[in-house]
Structure 1
């Protein structure tokens, strides 16, 4: 059933799944002809931004959903997932889960939007009738995403996002780690491999260069002068947008949450909506609590992430930074 050639074809699609900071931590090993071992490349962890490993595990979950979609194209499916109870690290790899594959899978309509989905960090144009209909469709299709509209509401969330983002930027380790994963120059040899490229972040050359200075050597001085928060602000990117609070059951394994997160993002793409996670809003306890309380995240649910979404004003990046398929197989 499974062989090296098929695995490479599958992973060409699976690797398009999102991962935190685009670190791409998921690796794969073929066991026999019907089982895959999912492993984590521990060198790609984020000790400052993700000390518990929650977001990396979410990323693995998105990769599993990507695998499910790719298998369905070929009449195959995931028969069983067995997370590792007490995994140990061997070299730079830590086993995460065994995944059994079987015949009988069906094509999932969301698979058609895997290549179109992207993290949209550009601006939005005002919603037209079709855009409003798309939002209504999203609300009807999922109970995991709570849509928020209205200029005042969105402006309040944008302000809160700036507060959350600045909170993390003021932590030297967090800011340094973020910079390590930002690819601000096309001369960076990893520009097309991983991380957050200037193109993906909708940063023209001069803006990307300035960002490296603002978040790098100039940040302490700019903070003392009271300028850092203004220069780091992304409040303007919320103009003409809606916001979706993505929530899942308390205590759920992030592998399952990550699968649902990817499906929700693909569902947005299927409705012609561009989206970008504003993860800091869920990561900072103060903002997460405020959003959950103020906008009524249901009891027994936890805020996993927040999407800024709308009708894109422009075209998506021409390419996405991804590791070669051959490096994902270990």
Structure 2
């Protein structure tokens, strides 16, 4: 791989992705240009809205790439395709697994202290599934999130109403069990679960039991024996373990905005990443409740409880808890070499 991509990719690989699947691939063409792909083998097509969230992930990556490149002395320019993702390509030809997102180019940029600080925040960012401490964040953080979202035509909303928070947390918990009754979703999630520290380190991806704060054997048994969830004893134990990680949730936030085309999905991902990085800089933890958004029944329950207006092509497309928690465990990442390819495409 040509410099300066070496250092940029080494840092950019820390972007967040659904199930920590890390689907973004860079085809480095020369020391200033690269093609960005989405690896369809690492997508989540079984879930409702799983395909649109492939483009959201691309937006998250591109927002992070911009932060990283600036700290390395480059600004990023983009020429994106915004074509729909077609996962049926994998059935026709498994080798045809790279969906082209577009091209990025680097141009010189004078690094500032703010750029270096932003990179430190990017590499420090983690999803925190730990219990939160039941305190509200400073109002200035909420105001900043509102401004970040508004700059791209989106709206950040939040609630600290205890009844509403408790109800949506309950919906999130129920969604897990509802989703896994779907055979395709169950198989997809099983594919990405890592039941031991060793397995998580070896694959460098996926949802590890450690980051989910679940004992590996308990998680494995529960996921491989989903028919027992409703049984007395076993199902109750798993649900109690899962809910214990949700202690202290005092505040929920969500993002609303245009969400009906690939271009809008990408922009949504940028907005989410910018809000997340601003929270990180303020010492605020965040944990997306993605399945509440992608599960149709849970989405409807959330929209009704939160009073969301989804008319005119707008949607509440991201929901998360945020607040203060102890530092979460490290989620592993694949090496930089795993997300780069040569120039023969």
Short-chain TM bin = 0.7 to 0.9
Counterpart secondary structure, 1:265: helix
SS at match of 1:146: strand
Give the match for residue 55 of structure 2.
57
Q: Which residue of 2 aligns with 1:248?
A: 257
What is the Cα-based RMSD across aligned positions, in Å? 2.7
The residue aligned with 1:8 is 6
Change (3 A) 1:175 1:102: same
- Residue 92 of structure 2 corresponds to none
Measure the CA separation in 1 of the matches of 2:146 and 2:111.
23
Aligned to 2:106: 101
- Pairwise mapping of residues 1-330 of structure 1 onto structure 2 (< 5 A)? 4-49=2-47, 53-83=51-81, 85=83, 91-104=96-109, 108=115, 110-127=118-135, 131-133=137-139, 135-138=141-144, 141-143=147-149, 144-188=155-199, 191=202, 193-203=204-214, 207-216=215-224, 218-223=225-230, 228=235, 231-232=238-239, 234-236=242-244, 237-252=246-261, 253=263, 254-298=265-309, 299-300=311-312, 301-312=314-325, 314-317=326-329, 319-330=330-341
Q: Give the Cα–Cα distance (whole angstroms) in 2 for the partners of residues 123 and 305 of structure 1.
A: 20
> Is the 1:192–1:320 contact (alpha carbons within 8 Å) kept by the matching residues of 2?
no
Deviates more, 1:6-15 or 1:246-255: 246-255
Question: C-alpha separation between the residues in 2 aligned to 1:270 and 1:263?
Answer: 11
TM-score (norm 1): 0.86
In the superposition, the TM-score normalised over structure 2's length comes to: 0.82
CA distance in 1, matches of 2:282, 2:201: 32
Q: Tell whether the 8 Å contact from 1:30 to 1:37 is kept in structure 2 after alignment.
A: yes
SS of the counterpart of 1:188?
A: helix
SS in 1 for 2:324: strand
In 2, distance between residues paired with 1:34 and 1:243?
41
Q: Aligned partners of 1:85 and 1:92: how far apart in 2?
A: 14
Where 2:3 maps in the other structure, the secondary structure is helix
For 1:37 and 1:229, the matched residues in 2 are separated by 48
Q: Assess if the C-alpha contact under 8 Å between 1:80 and 1:101 holds in 2.
A: no
- Give the number of equivalent residue pairs: 320
- 5+ residue gaps, structure 1, are none
8 Å contact from structure 2 (residues 79, 104) kept in 1: yes
CA contact (8 A) 1:166 1:229 kept: no
Q: Distance in 1 between matches of 2:257 and 2:198?
A: 40
Q: Is the 8 A contact 2:210 2:216 kept in 1?
A: no
> Any stretches of 5+ residues in structure 2 without a counterpart?
90-94, 150-154
Aligned in 2, Cα 1:84/1:150: closer, same or farther, shift over 3 Å? closer
In 2, Cα distance between equivalents of 1:84 and 1:139: 26
Cα deviation, residue 138, structure 1? 4.2
8 A contact 1:158–1:238 mirrored in 2: no
- Cα distance in 1 for residues equivalent to 2:138 and 2:272: 22
Q: Alignment partner of 2:197: what SS? A: coil
Given that residues 24 and 339 in structure 2 are in contact (C-alpha distance below 8 angstroms), is that contact kept between their aligned partners in structure 1?
yes
Contact 1:183 1:190 in 2 (8 A): no
